Amino acid sequence: MNNQEVGYHTSYNGGLGLYNRPFNESFEETPLLVAVLTYMGYGILTIFGYLRDFLRDWKIERCHIAREREEQRDFVPLYQDFENFYTRNLYMRIRDSWNRPICSVPGAKVDLVERVSHDYNWTFDYTGRVVGGVINMGSYNYLGFAENTGYCAEAAAEVTMKYGVGVASTRQEMGNLDRHEEMEALVAKFLGVESAIAFGMGFATNSMNIPALSGKGCLILSDELNHASLVLGARLSGSTIRVFKHNNMQSLEKMLRDAIVHGQPRTHRPWKKILILVEGIYSMEGSIVRLPEVIALKKRFGAYLYLDEAHSIGALGPAGRGVVDYFGLDPRDVDVMMGTFTKSFGAAGGYIGGRRELIDYLRVHSHSAVYATSMSPPVVEQIITSMKCIMGEDGTTLGRERVKRLAENTVYFRRKMTEMGFIIYGNSDSPVVPMMLYLPAKIGAFGREMLKRNIGVVVVGFPATPIIESRARFCISAAHTKDMLDTALCVISEVGDLLQVKYSRHRRLPSLDRAFDHSIYDEIQD
């Protein structure tokens, strides 16, 4: 049986000679029967939703969700839309799968506060019991720096005693600490760029800086699966936005060519600038950007490249320096290198790196730089110490070992999941592992059954994904031991059989455990 017969799509290097390593991504198509059943499931839920809304209108059933007051019923609805309908009638049924309170460090294992609902998830009561030792397969703790012991935690505690927790000012006023300066210099060195600037919030790093770089008369070409922060930043900029197919270089090239040939609408004047927005690792698909091809296209057509490395920095590359390091490319070929400290570094905030002129411009024109309160000193110290650990500047090899262990765990977990018959999306080297669930009833069921077996997972549905592409998303960590992964895999297989979510028709034969191929992360010689 060939790949086309089972609807299995695998992406390879493309024969362009731009890659120095294998580039394999797979996106198995949804089985037809599963797609039909998924649509039917949502159809039935929608019908019953309208029936329950009818009962609520006639006061037969109580409605717990916020609604307009009686004196405003003739107004244009302020928040009654499809998302609200979805929240009332679909999300509430499985709301217990999200927002679970954690009462420990979000490391390889977590402790959860137990809660119950007596009104079908409208409200929750806490039992006072703690569910301990839950294997954490959902946090973005890629390198295991989310911890309360060790050098990083001790350094953050020491800085807290010296500087306090809050700065109570912006960087341009009285909130520019020496630790901020040291952190930004270290980030620039880590990325291999001239300069860098840090911000207190990762989301705002995108949403507030893109408008400073692009405006009216500019064209933004955005991947269709870009994060909401990139989408919001593009919209706030006032630029013309065109969306190209996910990781599809033919689609991007066509849009670049059309932009150069036709220019702006109506006037046909040349665009002031063309900015390409992509991510390093796409957090819902587990795919890695085809960066060598994107760089080749942006050079060919004279465009600028904005790279969001929120999930890839620290998690990819032989030195943990992200997707640029992963492909062995020159950081100077990326005009704007953005990333966050919230994942691999176990901290908070984001950064932008690039040429010194770019960073100096953002210090003056970025709303995040000018108006936001400075980053908290212990958070800054967590970033400094974890980054030095990754770079080996702490005098140990702990950081390099964590990068290597993450790569090993990722390859092992993805291989086992595929062998068990699940539909797994994304790149073979991506620590973000989406497992397709499809049917709405299985979103909540999978999360609940996994938690019953002491495994904490993230389940995702609309509007974070297309309405029929619900999934569970596993995030692999260097903190996971092989025993933890084997335990999780055993439970996933058990629940997969129980819920019948082993949809794949392109199942690999189980292979004997073999040593990790260390040549994957050999040092790339300059």
Confidence check: pLDDT of 518 > 60:
no
**Amino acid in the structure at residue 173:** E
| Cβ count near 190 (within 10 Å) | 24
**Residue-averaged pLDDT of the chain:** 91
pLDDT given for residue 426 in this prediction: 96
pLDDT given for residue 434 in this prediction: 98
> Is residue 274 within a helix (H) or strand (E), and if so which, with residue range?
strand 274-279
Mean pLDDT of 469-481: 97
**Amino acid in the structure at residue 421:** G
CA 164 to chain centroid, in Å, comes to 31
DSSP annotation string for 400-436: HHHHHHHHHHHHHHHHHHHHHT--B-EETT-SEEEEE
Mean pLDDT of 323-341: 97
pLDDT given for residue 191 in this prediction: 98
> 120: left (phi > 0), else alpha (psi -120 to 50), else beta?
left
Question: CA of 501: how far to CAs of 23, 418, 424, 459, in Å?
Answer: 27, 12, 11, 13
pLDDT given for residue 427 in this prediction: 96
Closest residue by Cα to residue 292 from 247, 326, 318, 329: 329
Per DSSP, the three-state class of 52 is: helix
- Give the list of residues 6+ apart from residue 105 with CB closer than 8 angstroms, or none: 146, 147, 148
Q: Could you tell me the pLDDT band of residue 507, with boundaries at 50, 70 and 90?
A: low
Per-residue pLDDT tens digits for 233-278: 999 999 999 999 999 999 999 999 999 999 999 999 999 999 999 9
Confidence check: pLDDT of 7 > 50:
no
110 vs 55: CA distance, rounded Å:
41
Confidence check: pLDDT of 332 > 60:
yes
38 vs 165: CA distance, rounded Å:
49
146 vs 383: CA distance, rounded Å:
11
Confidence check: pLDDT of 524 > 80:
no
pLDDT given for residue 81 in this prediction: 62
pLDDT given for residue 515 in this prediction: 47
The structure's pTM equals: 0.91
Q: Could you tell me the pLDDT band of residue 516, with boundaries at 50, 70 and 90?
A: very low
Report the percentage of the chain scoring pLDDT > 70: 91
Q: Which residue, chain included where needed, has tokens 């619900």?
A: 470
Mean pLDDT of 84-93: 85
pLDDT given for residue 412 in this prediction: 97
Q: Could you tell me the pLDDT band of residue 8, with boundaries at 50, 70 and 90?
A: very low
User: What domains can you pick out in the chain, each with its CATH number?
Assistant: 32-95 (no CATH), 151-391 (3.40.640.10)
Long-range residue pairs from 118-127, CB within 8 A, at least 24 positions apart, any chain: 119/64, 120/92, 120/93, 121/92, 121/93, 121/94, 121/95, 121/96, 122/64, 122/65, 122/92, 123/64, 124/96, 126/101
Give all strands (DSSP E) within 107-163, no chain letters. Answer: 109-116, 125-136
pLDDT given for residue 312 in this prediction: 98
**Amino acid in the structure at residue 187:** V
